[in-house]
């Protein structure tokens, strides 16, 4: 009996480790669109951030976006120099939420009801009782780098829709995706997959 108890205990430990491993990472797919006329890294590899008129106000959200973009650009070899940067960076970020129109969430309920002739199938519209789909949150970033004459030389955006709401982690991942392959990324649309800690 003792060996049976030990075997069961070991089995539970293995299951716990497997489940813990599954819960330790999150697989994230995001859509990327990149376009570049750069052939090599800019020389010098510097840029200056240019805020649009609507981006002049300092907010915690704006500070987070600029910090994460600066970090992602540093990781691909670009250094921020707001006084003498060779390229000009135009940066934007977007967020919203919506309820998806998924077919298995609808107002038509099928069940059984009791009437004068016994139990019968029942069909009806029960809008206030139906389950709502989970709210999806959209996060999107866009970077445009221009040369000294204002001509765009690099443009890239990344978008992610999911129920996950960790802004810091999501925007960090989106900037990394938007700069994947810099300065010569695959042109056009593609999907990138990341494994991240939740």
The pLDDT value given to residue 133: 78
Q: Is the pLDDT of residue 122 over 70?
A: no
The pLDDT value given to residue 32: 97
Mean pLDDT value of segment 78-106: 87
Domains of the chain, with CATH numbers? 27-99+122-196 (3.30.160)
Residue 75 structure tokens: 């990781």
Confidence (pTM): 0.74
**Higher pLDDT residue, 53 or 2?**
53
């Amino acid at each position: 009996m003792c060996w049976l108890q030990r075997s069961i205990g070991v089995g539970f430990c293995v299951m716990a480790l497997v489940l813990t491993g599954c819960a330790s990472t999150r697989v994230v797919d995001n859509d990327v669109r990149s376009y570049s006329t750069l052939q090599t890294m800019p020389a010098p590899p510097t840029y200056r951030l240019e805020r649009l008129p609507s981006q002049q106000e300092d907010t915690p959200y704006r500070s987070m976006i600029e910090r994460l973009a600066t970090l992602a650009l540093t990781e691909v070899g670009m250094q921020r120099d707001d006084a003498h940067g060779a390229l000009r960076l135009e940066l934007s970020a977007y967020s919203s939420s919506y309820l998806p129109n998924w077919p298995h969430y609808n107002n038509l309920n099928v069940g059984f009801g009791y009437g004068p002739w016994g139990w019968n199938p029942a069909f009806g519209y029960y809008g206030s009782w139906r389950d709502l789909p989970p709210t999806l949150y959209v996060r999107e970033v866009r970077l445009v780098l221009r040369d000294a004459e204002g001509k765009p030389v690099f443009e890239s955006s990344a978008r992610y829709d999911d129920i996950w709401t960790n802004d810091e982690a999501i925007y960090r991942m989106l900037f990394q995706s938007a700069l994947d392959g810099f300065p010569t990324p695959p042109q056009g649309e593609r999907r990138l997959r990341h494994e991240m800690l939740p």
